[in-house]
Structure 1
Amino acid sequence: MDRCLPVALLLMLLVGCGSGPVIDTRYSAASQDSRVQYVILHYTSSGLDRSLGHLAEGGVSSHYLIDRQPPTIYRLVDESRRAWHAGESSWQGRSWLNASSIGIELVHYGYHETAHGRLWPDYDPAQIEALVVLLRDILQRHNLGPERVIGHSDVAPQRKVDPGPTFPWQQLAAAGVAIWPDTAVVQQWSAHLKACLPPIGWYQRALAEVGYPQPVTGELDPATRNVLTAFQMRFRPQRHDGMPDAETAALLAALSPQAARQLVAQQVVLTC
């Protein structure tokens, strides 16, 4: 009988090695949160078949793809795994956001060039309704606020323009799955700023405070105009020319408390 014990013990060890280590899960740390910190929205620039082929079989991917009619949600990558959708990206000082975000692609053709500039088609209402349902579920499960829903052009303004100026950010904000500045606050700031605009460095600091990858150079260089364009496409889509005007400053002041405080502190400077 005693001779059988080593054999039995050896068999138990072999079984243990084959199934992996024994983990005690009785304790859970209080200091933790989801690895998912952002949800990044994109459009595909193509129809469903090409989008599925590109995202499911190509070198890029997204966690979800939402078709238009009927509004079908496809899960292409499990949320626990990294999808390749954001590329070189930055938001709120964090870079390379593939590792910390969920990517959602919407089947949408983007823009096409005309003699009068870019023409941006509207999004399908049913598709947006499906997106809202999905976003509510994602934000609830990962304990994220609506400010964590952003666009590809927000995190990569030097090279991306999706989801574009016709994307209904205000509708998403009304549904509680995105942010939008308070209209009354924007109007108050706009009235104050019509007489004199803040310096370019203020715009750059305000954009960085909101989250955009924007260095403070004090110059209205092409990179700054690209970031301003991305901001305007999202919060003032009717005119997104990348110019630092009074309405853009008012939107930034409404979204950035620190930028608003700087305006108050600089009132003497801003008096023209």
Structure 2
Amino acid sequence: MLLTACTGPAHLETRNGYVVDHRHVAPSHNSRVRHLVLHYTDSSEADSLATLTGPHVSTHYVLPLPTHQHHGDPLVYQLVDESRRAWHAGASAWKGHPSINDTSIGIEIVNGGPDRPFNEVERLLETDPATVIHWAPYPEAQIETLIALMHDIIDRHGIHPTDVVAHSDIAPNRKIDPGPAFPWKRLYEAGIGVWPEDDAVARYRAAFENCPPQLETLQHALQAWGYPLRVTGELDRRTAVVLRAFQMRFRPTDYRGLPDAESAAILWALLDKYHPETLQRLQYPIRRQGQGACR
């Protein structure tokens, strides 16, 4: 009785200068979180934690290499509460929504990234994309922990599969993480994110090898999928880096940022599966039988 008198009813919360009554709860609300963004740290665990707990950048979670455990369970660092806005995405956009920091949870995965500095990688990707770049692998145990973490976040916030994105998806002009070594298909097989159907890819590839979509149409399709891209009808730098981000994720064996039938087929198969309504707005030229050019 004395304890109850001291603390007051459980539904009342005393704050500085007022009291909040929690008895009336509105059911009509949802999470502000719409996106889940994956990054790699491109540095060691110690350096990553030092940077991400500094004054300039942050993230909600850091996933270390699979060496830390607590009573047999893998350890994950949480640096920012999910209700708070972490500074991990920077200038970014997805599906027409800018400032992805405002609506996202960020996960930084401890991974060494490419075998050379970022500026050199950027230069090579733009000037000599055939150069072989070696990327640090993601250990299976680390991915298993990531899958558990992502399932937890996705279930609590109701994040749509198409809004599970790479940093390179939402900021393709300046970011390449988590890179082509990241196992997106492995996540899809675990029930996370998106992946095209093989038969749909084969069907569209057969059509596009005879008559590929015009570049303007391809730009419209990339924009419809979610990329921040302006339709110009030209293979400008922005289009090349968006294609590179798309290929790193869905066709990591060749991510030169050049348009080709296979990349277009993967993109159309994804739209067919997840955004079929957009295909009605996308027109691409069809080759007439016996003619040598598309109409």
User: 1:90–1:96: 8 Å Cα contact kept in structure 2?
Assistant: yes
Residue equivalent to 1:143: 158
Q: What amino acid does structure 2 have at the position aligned with 1:41?
A: L
Q: What amino acid does structure 2 have at the position aligned with 1:179?
A: V
Residue equivalent to 2:84: 81
2:240 partner SS: helix
2:172 and 2:157 mapped to 1: Cα distance?
Answer: 26
Change (3 A) 1:262 1:249: farther
1:85 and 1:209 mapped to 2: Cα distance?
Answer: 24
User: 2:35–2:105: 8 Å Cα contact kept in structure 1?
Assistant: yes
Q: Structure 1-normalised TM-score?
A: 0.88
Q: Within the alignment, does 1:163 sit opposite 2:182 as a pair?
A: no
User: 1:202–1:259: 8 Å Cα contact kept in structure 2?
Assistant: no
Residue equivalent to 1:175: 190
Q: Within the alignment, does 1:72 sit opposite 2:91 as a pair?
A: no
| Deviation readout 1:179-238 (Å, 9 max, x if unpaired) | 101111001100111012111111111111111101111111111000000000000000
User: 1:214–1:224: 8 Å Cα contact kept in structure 2?
Assistant: yes
2:165 partner SS: strand
Change (3 A) 1:16 1:220: closer
1:121-132 equivalent positions in 2, closer than 5 A? 121-132=136-147
User: 2:53–2:79: 8 Å Cα contact kept in structure 1?
Assistant: yes
1:105 partner SS: strand
Question: Post-superposition shift, 1:160?
Answer: 0.1
Of all paired residues, the percent bearing the same amino acid is 44
User: 1:205–1:259: 8 Å Cα contact kept in structure 2?
Assistant: no
Q: How many pairs align?
A: 257
Q: What amino acid does structure 2 have at the position aligned with 1:76?
A: L
1:185 partner SS: helix
Question: Post-superposition shift, 1:144?
Answer: 1.8
Residue equivalent to 2:294: 271
Q: Within the alignment, does 1:211 sit opposite 2:208 as a pair?
A: no
Question: Post-superposition shift, 1:255?
Answer: 1.3
186, 211, 216: which is aligned to 1:196? Answer: 211
Q: Structure 2-normalised TM-score?
A: 0.81
Larger CA deviation: 129-138 vs 15-24: 15-24
Change (3 A) 1:207 1:25: farther
Residue equivalent to 1:221: 236
Residue equivalent to 1:63: 60
2:66 and 2:22 mapped to 1: Cα distance?
Answer: 48
Question: Post-superposition shift, 1:263?
Answer: 5.7
Residue equivalent to 1:7: none
Q: Within the alignment, does 1:233 sit opposite 2:256 as a pair?
A: no
| Deviation readout 1:46-70 (Å, 9 max, x if unpaired) | 0111011011124100000001132
Change (3 A) 1:229 1:16: closer
User: 2:196–2:270: 8 Å Cα contact kept in structure 1?
Assistant: yes
2:16 and 2:223 mapped to 1: Cα distance?
Answer: 51
User: 1:108–1:123: 8 Å Cα contact kept in structure 2?
Assistant: yes
Q: CA RMSD, aligned part only?
A: 2.2
User: 1:254–1:260: 8 Å Cα contact kept in structure 2?
Assistant: no
Rg (Cα) greater in structure: 1
User: 1:55–1:61: 8 Å Cα contact kept in structure 2?
Assistant: yes
Q: What amino acid does structure 1 have at the position aligned with 2:65?
A: R
